Copies of this chain bind each other. A is one copy, B any other.
Amino acid sequence: MKKNLPLWGAGVFAGALLAVPAEAAVSSEAAYVFNSFSFLVCGALVMFMAAGFAMLESGLVRARNTAAICLKNIALYSIAGLMFYLIGYDLMYTGVDGGLIGSLELLYNPSGLELALINAGDKGQEAALAALMKAETGYSSMSDWFFQMVFVATAASIVSGALAERIKVWPFLVFVVVLTGVIYPVIGAWTWGSGWLAEMGFSDFAGSTIVHSTGGWAALTGALILGARKGKYGPDGRINPLPGANIPLATLGTFVLWLGWFGFNGGSQLALGSALDAAAMSIVFVNTNLAAAAGVVAAMALTQILYKKIDLTLTLNGAIGGLVAITAGPDLQNHLMAVIVGGIGGVLVVFAVPLLDKLRIDDVVGAISAHLVAGIWGTLAVGIFGSGDFAVQLIGVVAVGAFVTVVSAVVWFAIRAVMGLRIDEEGERLGLDQVELGIEAYAEFGKGSQSIA
């Protein structure tokens, strides 16, 4: 049982089930190819979001912590893929059946029927194909695995941004192991894996809660336990901006995330093997784009009004807020709704960022605002504009928040006790790059006063 069936049921693989004339319909083998290729192409786009996060975060940290954030980002993507292979996928998708977790089997591999087809000689292929067509879900097992895998890394990317500039590399990566191997798969099991939340009717098309809020709660918990960067908050309530070192890279990162999000939301249609699926996926692409655009325009206009100047960083986060907000329900059939949902996502980010600062919760790149706050909004919006039940949506938001917060806190405290979490003061002053990696991100660019502060 995969992600799609309990949540959007009817529309999926409809092509194969329809009794239209054979010469007009998509054949079952062609549907299998369409579905699999859609997973691969959309999955590759989502994979590229790892680069987007790396660039966004590289641009928004100070120069002295840039190499460390680069390392964390490529490492977390790698760990996420290995952990999902080792344990995550089965924990999330195999035999959850209304419960809390799936199987504890290790090392996911291709389905036997597929290997039989691939290994069949010329003579055996016909029978092997027939068996595959009859028994399988309509797509290649590893194309689905690939698509699900790339989502795991996104949750971890959110954490790296929020906790940048002070968390040590290895403790962060140990947290990533647990987040991607256990925490995210358990949340996934409850929902896309057909667990208890799915049975209640919780609806989260591509993961406003399941991916983005999960990462956001883990980041929030970490930010509270880790504390703020030195110098971020003055003793008199003063908030120091500590501006990022490379704004065009942050802009590039945002564009890459936007591009990847077409795969993120579009691929979550989970099928392309029928006209219905193609039409539905197209609607998803359009809503994704409109919501992001609305987030940008809303954040621009609002910061102009509030601060008399457009705030570029908040505008970039407005795009992300719009994207996160639409992620729970990008299948809205009236596109104006997507504009509204995304625009509100952008507005929420503009208010959430200073609010967190007022609470002295130090989120370096605004990830908690863009992913958690907009993620909650998007999930609830499915209960307002979409087909979801508001109460069930709220239960899902709260349940995920409670579980991720509690388990994350336990893990953060355990790591802190065993190996420490935070770079020491001298290290923070010098920067993680020098202390942890022994490298400079920009070895030749003269440093202004900022980096000596």
Contacts and interface: CB of A to CB of B under 8 A. Distances in A.
A66 interface: yes
A71 B109 contact: no
A211 to B, nearest CB: 18
A231 to B, nearest CB: 15
A282 B36 contact: yes
How many of these chains are in the complex? Answer: 3
Nearest to A333: B115
A392 interface: no
Given A19-B126, A143-B278, A252-B51, A29 B24 contact: yes
A246 interface: yes
18 contacts: A18-B129, A36-B278, A36-B279, A36-B281, A40-B262, A54-B251, A63-B444, A70-B312, A71-B310, A75-B315, A77-B293, A85-B339, A129-B274, A142-B283, A243-B439, A252-B252, A311-B438, A446-B446
A75 B296 contact: yes
Given A63-B444, A309-B436, A55 B252 contact: yes
Nearest to A32: B275
Nearest to A445: B445
A280 interface: yes
Contacts of A11: 118
A274 B33 contact: yes
A: contact size bracket: 35 or more
Given A15-B29, A282-B39, A441 B333 contact: no
A305 interface: no
Nearest to A448: B444
Interface in A264-310: 266, 272-283, 285-286, 289-290, 292-294, 296-297, 300, 304, 307, 309-310
A273 B275 CA distance: 13
A243 B445 CA distance: 12
Given A74-B316, A315-B74, A286 B333 contact: no
Given A20-B29, A40-B281, A245-B444, A70 B142 contact: no
